[in-house]
Every structure is written in structure tokens, then in C-alpha cells.
A and B are shown apart, each in its own frame.
Chain A
């Protein structure tokens, strides 16, 4: 694991990763079960709200309005946070953000931090960067803990350990907990309650002994300078309140103009992500509270560049609910790791290549990691037209020479009806010579499917011969 934006680079392209993942039957079973369960729950609670489509539209418009006036609201936020006794830092990229956090931690004299689950800090590789400075970051979200102990990658933005089942988790706890702090209890079973209790004991020790916490945020309110976190285990609340220093690293797109706007998102987010009517813990804090120091690191890391793209910028509306992952048939079979980024699934396929550019093999293949079936767009609570962005990014992706020539040739044939007709007649004449298995890139098709027979006569020729069936 290297830090910064290079976290997953050097990875093979998506099709190769996915081809390997799809062979893993345990992974496929775990993913299918988990995504289908949560998919059903989401559909149920969304159907309960008669005004869901209006809420969704409101969410989209609030986000668009904020993004259009991002600079103004960010400055307003900075002022409000500062006024409330917090410190605001601006980070242009991952390295800068990591350095700011590392320096802040070092200034406290501490060598360990507890963390609230945060994808932004994974995006910048914060844990690894802190490690290089001699600081250990401890994840406190149950699923993140499983991933960290298992020396693994998160494979889902909401349920990072979605690819693990409970017997795998039991093994990880038993083998690794002792290396990181309190060991797993003797005779640990794979009962969910036993696993949760083991994690609780392990984490409690950590919360009570650590003086610095690092978090992200789900929302930042420009008007009041308030940060908001939604979570369901209570570990977040422990991290946010117990330590003496709190450092929050937040993407600049997480902004909302006012408190009132929160109303919309507190309905959209839990229903879309966990399939619950409301989430168990909502924590909000403004600036520094007594006895605690608060730092806000505002992270750009490619976001303003995304904002500059008229079609692509809608990806910045994302509230990381993960609904799109749970309905995506490609994600369900390829798994989160295939996407080579902390943002997997449909949102990852459009966000990652925009944040990182498309110079690596995996990033260039991500816009193609979709059938454009549109299930993701349908469930997205802020109406991000993911298929539209995918198609847009494909237009900018590097194309292989052979494909370019093929597409140009097809365009040449299709541009004139005469050429199309002649090609069809040639195909019909040669139809007996079409092999059952096609060569090269088309072999992927014929490996598992029979190609259709080429008809003796095209529709066009039939129409002309029979005058549209009249003769």
C-alpha cells in the first residue's frame, strides 16, 4: 500500500480484475446475498415516502446550487468555523492534506489516532502516510476494523467488509486482534453478537486511551460552520467527543448552504444507504467545544477539476449512500476491489477516472465497467445520471488503435445505405464460412454463446424484392 493518489495504481484493467473475481464463488455468494438484502430493504422504505421523487429533486437542486456557488459557501463556512473557535486548513491534493494532518498530530505529541470511518481519508491514503511518520491510525468502525485487521482493502463504501462472511471475520479477529491491542476473547464463536462484543471490548480500550481523533463528515453547513456525521454503531460519537483534538478531513463538495437543507438529506441518505428510516446516530458539532481543539481540513484533490466538466460534475452531488453499488449487476459480480479505487461500483466508475485522470490501465477501463443498464441512475437519491457520465467519459477515454479503425470502418459502412446493403449481401453470400468461434477480441463472445445465423436476405433486400411484402 503506498500513499496518496497512487494507492491502487499499477493495477490491471477492470476486465482482468473482474474476470478473476467472478471465479471466486465465496465472494460472489457473499456479495449477492448482501446486496440483494439491502436492495430489498431500500426499495421498501423508499416506497413508503409518497414524495420521494420530490425529495430526490430537492436533493439534486440543493447540491447543484451549492456546487455552482461553491467558492462563496466555502468562504462562508471557513468564517463560521473560525468564529466558533475551529481552525480551517485548505489542502489542494492528497500530499498536502496528509502533511497537514501529520503535523497537527505531531504537535499534540501523540503517536496514535482513532478514526471514524471516512472514505476521504482512504482516498488520500492517510493511514499509510501517518504510518510513515510513526503515527498509528486505528479504525473504529466495525467493518473498517475487519478490513484493517485483515490487511485488506475496503470493497464497498458503506459496508467495506461486505465481501467477508462471519466465519472469515471470526478468523481475522482471532488471529489479528492481539497485534493491534486487546486480544479476542477465548473461544470466540462466529455468532454476530459474539463478534460484536469482541469488537466492542477491543475498541473501548482504544477510545479511552487515545487523545486524537480523525474523522470525515457527511455534510458541512456553510451558514453555521457545523459538521454532521451519520453512523450506526456509536463509535463515531465516541471518537468525536472523547479525544482532546479532533481533525476532520472533508471533501469540498460535502457542503450544504443551510441547516434547513439538512432536512432533505437526513431523509434521503439513511433510506438509500442502509434501508432504514433514520440512522441511529446523527452527530453535529460546530467549531471547538470546551477542552477540545478542532481542525477542519478542506480537501480538493481533483474536485475543482471535476467541477470544470459540465457533464461530469454531477458526480460531485454524490452523498456516498452506496445505493448504486447495491443494485449494480456488474459490481455484484466483479466485487469492489476490481475497481482499483476506494470508490467502487457505478459511482466509482465515474468519479475515480475524473479525480485521477485516465492514464492508468484501470482508470481508462472504468468508464466501460458498465452495461449502461441504468439501475444506478434509478436509485440515486440525488439523481446522478451515471450512464450519461459514463458515455461522456468514454468519449474522452483512450481508444485502442484496432478499435478505432473498426469503429471508423463501421461508421463508413453505416453512413451510406448503399454501402450497408452491399456489405449485407457480401455477408449473406459468405454466411456459410462464418466460424462458430470468432478470433481475437470477439472470442470472449463466442466462448459462451452461439452467434446467430446470418440470414440469406436482409430486410432491405426482402422489402425491395417483394415491395414490402405486397408482391
Chain B
């Protein structure tokens, strides 16, 4: 099985430690992972801010980069949800243009009309539309916790992390990907870790990508309530499967000098006695 890491642009640029933790963890579990160098961004920011054209270009690029792998693993519920939920919608808008008019031969499309590498011919003949390519790719895209539990079949990843931790499920993990209790099942198996429930866990932290910039007052109020709940658990660490939400909550935790650390799920799962 060829497993590709989709590290995501935010992690690549701002949280390289999360990507490194994913590599450590998956290698420890016996996976051969590759990092396709051409990867950039899933396009979520563009699409969700109202720039579907730019988003579609990035989606096109994403599909080109990852189509050949058996599995794509992303340490981000939000980016995985983007690919699985929103890519099909993005292609719907362009699907008619990608399908040749009746009567044109598939070969002519491949050779002449379409830009090189944009249209592939499946064994059954006839050109493959962008929608088909997306449909083929999306079931292979996993959030880290899904890959561990559903594909590798492990919940005990051999981690050791002797701290009091609370878990924020993040909206896109919860309602976009329907991760359910997968992340907490993984955390419960971590030796030494004390998992404490977060009050109001399923409420949004107020990040929402550009929402935090466009509606700063409401975003800050939402985050203030989230931070209040985090602090009330007396946890040392706030864990989530999305660094964007963690950056947002963490920025407030830090500004308020609460002393609560933020950690991505991958970083806790990668920790062992040796790394301490």
C-alpha cells in the first residue's frame, strides 16, 4: 500500500512538528509513507471565502498530486472534509465542460482539446472527467484517526504521555467527517494520559477560517467561552485534530496567560518514553 502524507499548507508552514509526529507515528506502526513534494493546499480558504475558481485550481492540483496513491492521510479534519465534501461540489460546476459533446471521439479530446495531463482515459475508453477523478480519489482520503482505526485497525499506538489532557473535537471533524469518538478512543489507550471531558465540547471555537478576521468580535467572544471551558477542566494540554482551531484557541490561551499548552493529536500519539 502506497500511503501519501497530505501535511496541509498550514501545518507545513506553521506547525512542522505535527507533520514530523505523523511521520514518526506511522513509521512506528509499520507504514511506508511518502511525502509528495508537489503538494500545496486543499483550497479550503479560497472556496470558503467565496473564491471557487481559485479553489478549483488548487483542487485540480491536489487530485493530480495524490491520484496515484492507495491512501492519503491528513492530520487535519478540516482539510480532509474539504476534499471529501466540497471537491465533489466543485467538480459539479465544471463537469459539463469536461465531458466532450456527443460524437467527439475520446482520442481527439485527449490529443487536441484538453491540456496535457488533464484528461485521462480509463480502460473502458471515453475520457475521465474531473468529477470522475475526484470520485475515485475521495474515498482514499483519511483523517489521521480514521486511518489508524479504520485502515490500520489499531487504537493502542504504543504512546506514553503522562499528562492531564482535554479534547476539543472541532466542528469539521465532528460534523464534516463524522469522526465520532475515534480520537478519544486513541487517547484513552495512551499510557499515563488522564483524559478529562471538555464542557460544551461540540460548540464551535469561533475560528472558521476568515470568519475570525471578518467577524472579530463574535469570534473572540466564542473563543473566550471555549477558553473558559478549557481552563475549567484544569487540563495541562488542550488536544485537537486540527491545528487551525488549536492556533485560534491557543492564541487566546497564551494571551490570557493560562499556561495551558496546545498539542495536535498526532503529537500526543507519537510521544513515547524514549521521546521524553
Are the CB atoms of B16 and A18 closer together than 8 Å? no
Tell me whether A371 and B171 are in contact in the complex, defined as CB-CB below 8 angstroms, given that A329-B206, A459-B19 are known contacts.
yes
Contact B254 A399 (CB under 8 A): no
Tell which of A378, A396, A450, A468 touches B35, judged by Cβ atoms closer than 8 Å.
A468
Report which residue of A369, A424, A452 has the largest number of chain B beta carbons within 10 angstroms of its beta carbon: A452
Does A449 have its Cβ within 8 Å of any Cβ on chain B? yes
Contacting pair A14 B57 (CB below 8 A): no
**Contact B221 A463, beta carbon cutoff 8 Å:** no
User: Distance in Å from the Cβ of B118 to the closest Cβ of chain A?
Assistant: 15
The tally of CB-CB contacts under 8 A between chains A and B is 191
Compute how far the CA of A179 lies from the CA of B221 in the bound complex, rounded to whole angstroms. 39
Query: In the complex, A161 Cα to B275 Cα: how many Å?
Result: 57
Inter-subunit contact B50/A397 (CB<8 Å) = yes
Residue numbers in B under 8 Å from A373 (CB-CB)? 171, 175, 204, 208
Binds A, one of B40-48, B121-129, B138-146, B180-188: B40-48
Indicate if the CB atoms of A462 and B20 lie closer than 8 Å: yes
A interface footprint on B199-240 (CB within 8 Å = 1, 0 otherwise) = 000111011111111111111111110000000000000000
A18-B217, A370-B211, A444-B213 in contact; A450/B251 too (CB < 8 A)? yes
A90 in contact (CB, < 8 A): no
The answer to whether B54 touches A368 (Cβ under 8 A) is no
Contact at B50–A371, with CB atoms within 8 Å?
Answer: no
User: Is A193 positioned at the interface, with any CB of B under 8 Å from its CB?
Assistant: no
Interface residues of B in 50-80 (CB under 8 A from A): 50-52, 54, 57-58, 61
A334 and B216: CB pair below 8 A? Answer: no
Q: Among B4-12, B106-114, B147-155, which stretch is in contact with chain A?
A: B4-12
Cβ contacts under 8 Å, A399 to chain B: 50-51
Q: Please judge, given known A-B contacts A329-B222, A416-B40, A420-B9, whether A15 and B204 are in contact too, CB under 8 Å.
A: no
* A430 surroundings in chain B (CB, below 8 A): none
List, in ascending order, chain A residues with CB within 8 A of B17's CB: 455
Partner of A458, one of B12, B208, B254: B12
Given contacts A18-B218, A445-B216, contact A468 B9 (CB under 8 A): no
Contact check: which of B48, B50, B58 meets A411 at CB < 8 Å? B58
Q: A411-B58, A449-B223, A449-B252 are in contact. Are A374 and B215 (CB under 8 A)?
A: no
Chain A residues within an 8 Å CB radius of B23? 468-469
Per-position binary interface string of chain A over residues 377-407, scored 1 when its CB falls under 8 Å from any chain B CB and 0 otherwise: 1100000000010010011110100010001
In the complex the two chains form, is B50's CB within 8 Å of A15's CB? no
Given contacts A333-B221, A368-B214, A415-B57, contact A388 B255 (CB under 8 A): no
Q: How many residues of B contact A (CB 8 A)?
A: 70
B76 to chain A, nearest CB (A): 13
Partner of A451, one of B9, B13, B251: B251
Contacts of A371 in B (CB 8 A): 171, 204, 206-209, 211, 219, 222
| Main DSSP-derived SS at the B contact region | helix
Contact of A394 with B218 at beta-carbon distance under 8 Å, contacts A414-B9, A459-B11 already known: no
Residue from the list B19, B20, B86, B251 in contact with A449, Cβ < 8 A: B251
Knowing A375-B175, A394-B50, A450-B254, say if A330 contacts B218 (CB, 8 Å): yes
In the complex, whether B189 has a CB less than 8 A from a CB of chain A is: no
In contact, B37 and A458 (Cβ under 8 angstroms): no
CB neighbours of A65 from chain B (8 A): none
Identity of the chain A residue whose Cβ is nearest the Cβ of B176 in the assembled complex? A374
A407 and B51 within 8 A (CB): yes
- State the CA gap A369–B7 with chains docked (Å): 29
Nearest residue, chain B, Cβ from A441:
B213
Smallest CB–CB gap between B178 and chain A, Å? 10
Roughly how many angstroms separate A454 CA and B10 CA in the complex, as a whole number? 11
Q: Which residue of A lies closest to B60 (CB)?
A: A415
| A410 touching B45 in the complex, CB below 8 Å, given contacts A378-B175, A397-B50 | yes
User: Which of B16, B37, B212 gathers the greatest number of chain A CB atoms within 10 Å?
Assistant: B16
What total of chain A residues lie within 8 Å of the partner, measured CB to CB? 62
Check A417/B14 contact, CB under 8 A, given A329-B203, A369-B215, A395-B51.
no
Bound-state Cα–Cα, A370 to B204, Å: 10
Contact A408 B54 (CB under 8 A): yes
Q: Using Cβ atoms and an 8 Å threshold, which residues of chain A touch B252?
A: 448-449
Given contacts A15-B217, A445-B212, A459-B19, contact A395 B12 (CB under 8 A): no
B31 to chain A, nearest CB (A): 12
With the chains together, A452 CA to B192 CA distance in Å? 28
Which residues between 1 and 47 of chain A lie within 8 Å of chain B, taking CB atoms? Answer: 14-15, 18-19, 22, 28
B219 to chain A, nearest CB (A): 8
CB-contacts of B19-43 with A (<8 A): 19-20, 23-24, 27, 33, 35, 37-41, 43
Which residues of chain B are near A459, meaning CB under 8 Å? 7, 11-12, 15-16, 19-20
Interface centre among A370, A395, A441 (most CB of B within 10 A): A395
Is B120 an interface residue when CB atoms closer than 8 A count as contact? no
A468 contacts across to B, CB distance below 8 A: 23, 33, 35
Q: Is B94 an interface residue (CB 8 A)?
A: no
* Chain A residues whose C-beta falls within 8 Å of the C-beta of B86 in the assembled complex: 391
CB-defined contacts of A458 to chain B, threshold 8 Å: 12-13, 16
Shortest C-beta distance, A336 to chain B (Å), equals 14
Cα(A127)–Cα(B73), bound, Å: 58
- CA gap between A448 and B57 in the complex, in Å: 34
Residues of the B chain whose Cβ atoms lie less than 8 Å from the Cβ of A204: none
Residue pair A15, B216 in contact (C-beta under 8 Å): yes
Chain B CB within 10 A, most for which of A28, A365, A449, A452: A449
Q: Is A194 an interface residue (CB 8 A)?
A: no
A-B contact pairs, 13 of them (CB 8 A): A19-B217, A372-B171, A372-B208, A417-B40, A424-B12, A444-B217, A448-B223, A448-B224, A450-B255, A455-B16, A460-B12, A468-B35, A469-B23
List B residues at the A interface (Cβ < 8 Å).
Answer: 7, 9, 11-17, 19-20, 23-24, 27, 33, 35, 37-41, 43, 45-52, 54, 57-58, 61, 86, 89, 171-172, 174-176, 202-204, 206-224, 247-248, 250-252, 254-255
Q: A371-B219, A411-B54, A449-B252 are in contact. List 16 more A-B contacts (CB 8 A).
A: A14-B215, A15-B214, A18-B215, A22-B217, A330-B222, A333-B218, A334-B218, A369-B215, A375-B203, A377-B175, A378-B175, A396-B50, A414-B43, A447-B216, A448-B224, A455-B13
The 8 closest A-B pairs by CB, nearest first: A444-B216, A371-B208, A449-B251, A394-B50, A19-B217, A373-B204, A374-B175, A459-B19
